[in-house]
Structure 1
Amino acid sequence: MTNDLAPQKTRAAAWFRELRDQIVAAFEGLEDSHTTGPLSDMAPGRFEVTETKRKSDDGSDAGGGLMSVMRGGRVFEKVGVNVSTVYGTLAPRAQAAMAARKGIPGMDADPRFWASGISLVAHMQNPHAPAVHMNTRMFWTPQAWWFGGGSDLNPCIEYAEDTAHFHATQKAHLDPHGTDLYPRLKAWADEYFYIPHRNRARGVGGIFMDDHNTGDWEADFALPQDIGRAFLPAFVPLIEKRRATPWDDADKDTQLVHRGLYAEYNLVYDRGTKFGLETGHDANAVLMSLPPMAKWV
């Protein structure tokens, strides 16, 4: 049995909120600095922030968070940066899924949980600028606790140098935790972000982990922090490089078809989407990852 970990929960939730604030500021800065190239004559985009609330079956408070969404900006067509801290008891279906995945005994007797994290998905105006996903989270039950998360790049028009930069930045942030970690988390991402019914990956990969618990909370917490710290230096330079590239209707069509793959993955396979809906979190916040427009051929 694990203890309540109240101080650790507070620290983790505060870190996810701090990372959210840094990313929101950086993304609005990209909007402000886009002064040449396509759509630069538009007003810079700004995040709309909505407080989300989760209620338990008996109507009592069960946590919530902030949903921050920018739509129709100069650079970002749609981007969501959500943070949440939720708690309560897992529904029977979620209990069964968690017990099977983690091998946790006793969850049916004590199905309490606590979860906090940040989730981000960005869909870009310019087809030459890659979409991206990132999340990190902490999960607790009376039986166990663990961390998860990662980030992956989803370009519709691929540039080898962009992929190389994204992966090299991830590796640099993970290597202090052990040089074997990046290859393992990269392989995990390649397997996880795969669309079986299309026989292809949804993007060019990144890093991913789940169920991370070595028994050393401090060391384990340091890892999702570095996954979070890697995100802006891995992603922002790519947008600064590509946001002014001219595009045509064929480029936009390529982007919309690729977004269809992204939507299929998130609705059919993504664990976070399933967990959010099964635990009663705000559906708009859970589904903010879906693109504003997509196309199927």
Structure 2
Amino acid sequence: MGDDMDDQRRLAADWFRELRDRITQAFEALEDRGPTDRPAARFAVTPTERADNGGGGLMSVMRDGRVFEKVGVNWSEVHGTLSPKAQAAMAARGVPGLEKDPRFWASGISLVAHMQNPHAPAVHMNTRMFWTPQAWWFGGGADLNPCIEYPEDTGHFHDTLRAACTPHGADYYERFKSWADEYFFIPHRGRARGVGGIFYDDLNSGDWQADFAFTKSVGEAFLPAFLPLAEARMTQDWTDMDRETQLIHRGLYAEYNLVYDRGTKFGLETGHDPDAVLMSLPPLAKWP
């Protein structure tokens, strides 16, 4: 956990930042190709800080565009001391020794896109690295959240993620797809929040380079998995009923993120900027 891990943390944080830059550029380029009934939007970038001078990041949000009604692409690199509640949660996941040394470091990218056209699916993606003096691990994934599902879109998204997973582990796609199906389920509604994807956490095979390479593959797969779907649907005709369906589906998304999402809970419990933590919430939503 000495100098080598310092170098590895720097590599990971820099790569997450570079991925954030590429995605925001690709999304602004898609805005330029979108319907011309309104101006193309651009990201507003705001530096964020964690409480007690524990690092921060960049919150990048684009609103009211041609293609995106609201999209956030956040990057962070934070550090500090885990609260007793966070220590207990991580100890329950098998992280040892936090009662003796509760320091932590974390970096990652988190993305949520809510679309103008109800036929274009909302989407979520994140990749991250977490470190304590006793352990390190990677986590992340991506999942698709259409309010009006197209089987061919779902198939493309999953096929792209499968292709990213398979070179790193023959069972990775099936394992992490099953984990996503379980993780992105809304118990009080008895249904999934979308059509799934992949999700993984606590990934430490003992080979940092291999686990980082897999995490990079997940991040690299995002644009090929999502952009063709957004581009194909962004000019499709839609009705008032389609918009109503979209807003009610967003209510499910908001419920999940506020009640169950690990990232939301961790960010708020560790003092990160609440606007950045809650960036994932849709701009408008309805409940039946």
TM-score (norm 2): 0.98
Deviation at 1:108, TM superposition (A): 1.2
Structure 2 partner of 1:79:
71
Cα distance in 2, alignment partners of residues 292 and 189 from structure 1: 24
Q: How far apart, CA to CA, are the structure 2 residues paired with 1:226 and 1:95?
A: 30
Provide, for residues 171-190 of structure 1, a one-character-per-residue CA deviation record: whole Å limited to 9, x for no partner: 11111112211111101100
Residues in 2 aligned to 1:104 and 1:29: alpha-carbon distance in whole angstroms: 42
Task: Say yes or no: does 1:182 pair with 2:178.
Answer: no
Q: Which 4+ runs in 1 deviate beyond 4 A?
A: none
Residue 119 of structure 2: which of 116, 120, 128 is its match? Answer: 128
Match of 1:49 in 2: 45
For residues 2 and 245 of structure 2, the distance between their equivalents in structure 1, rounded to whole angstroms, comes to 50
Q: Say whether the 8 Å CA contact 1:138–1:145 is kept in structure 2.
A: yes
Unaligned runs of 5+ in 2: none
Q: What code does the residue aligned with 2:123 have?
A: V
Report the counterpart of residue 25 of structure 1 in structure 2: 25
**1:128 aligned counterpart, secondary structure:** coil
Q: Which amino acid aligns with 1:288?
A: M
Q: Secondary structure at the match of 1:208?
A: strand
Distance in 2 of aligned mates of 1:105 and 1:270: 23
Deviations 1:23-59 (A, max 9, x none): 0000000100114xxxx22110100000001132xxx
Q: What are the within-5 Å matches in structure 2 for residues 1-297 of structure 1?
A: 2-3=1-2, 5-35=5-35, 40-56=36-52, 61-101=53-93, 103-297=94-288
Distance 2:287 2:34 in 1: 30
Rounded Cα–Cα distance in structure 2 between residues aligned with 1:81 and 1:105: 32
Give the unaligned 5+ runs of structure 1: none
Distance across 2 between alignment mates of 1:3 and 1:278: 27
RMSD over aligned Cα atoms: 0.8
Aligned residues of 1:3 and 1:142 also touching (Cα < 8 A): no
Q: Deviations over 1:140-191 (max 9, x none)?
A: 0001000000000000000000000000000111111122111111011000
Distance 2:223 2:208 in 1: 25
Q: What CA distance in whole angstroms lies between the structure 1 residues aligned with 2:180 and 2:50?
A: 30
Does the 8 Å CA contact 1:126/1:247 hold for their aligned counterparts?
yes
2:50 partner amino acid: R
Q: What secondary structure does 1:106 align onto? A: coil
Q: How many Å separate the matches in 1 of 2:268 and 2:238?
A: 37
